[in-house]
Structure 1
Amino acid sequence: MKSNPIVWCEIYVQNMDRAKRFYESVFQMKLEKLESSGMDMWAFPMAMDQVGASGALVQMEGVKSGGSGTIPYFHCDEVATELERVVAAGGHIQQPKMSIGQYGFMAMIVDTEGNMIGLHMSPKESS
């Protein structure tokens, strides 16, 4: 298996307009509509020629948001910057910014749909 083996993630939502506003506000970027049958999908920015994963917000009948078990982590240049936007965008902070030693810093937030996601910054960016 190669490094960074995850290539895609989906975050399920109940109200796409509300979820899009949250993610676009917190991460200061625009989502792009993906054509898909039976699902409303809006993708995060992606570079197909680079390592790492992207994903999409997905609204699909019969699939609830707010599940547990898998938590996607979003890269941040400074975790505190995104944390400052979370509450104003309708979410809440589950775990404030904390050191994870040699691996950098992280925080946990809950979006407007009840999904928990992580924020991460590498130790190189904190210096």
Structure 2
Amino acid sequence: MNTNSICWFEIYVDDLERAKRFYTAVLGTKFHDLPSPDGSDEFKMACFSSPENQGVSGALVQMKETRTNNPGNTSTIVYFPCEDCSVEESRVANAGGTVHCPKMSIGEHGFISICLDTENNTFGLYSMQ
């Protein structure tokens, strides 16, 4: 299991190519495009390329209506590593939060749940099972 508190982040953008140019200019980072987990062209991701053993990585994400159809007008989501994200997801409501998107497959990359905490912050849970 990952020993970092955070295992992944996503920065939601309106224009993926423009955002890639920005982060490349500012941080000098490179990106590699990831296939959409649902196979549609309404969901695009570009992963930050990072040196080995850096720990946490993430991606720029462009989805149709990202800014208007997300909880709390989310611009960034951090993901917390879990053995099975459905376990932590099952604790969210009793702790005062909300499950926005129940556990779903992201293909060969595992599973995620998207939740809201008591302060209306969006966070993700990630597991391989």
Q: TM-score, normalised by structure 1?
A: 0.45
Q: TM-score, normalised by structure 2?
A: 0.45
* Greater strand proportion: 2
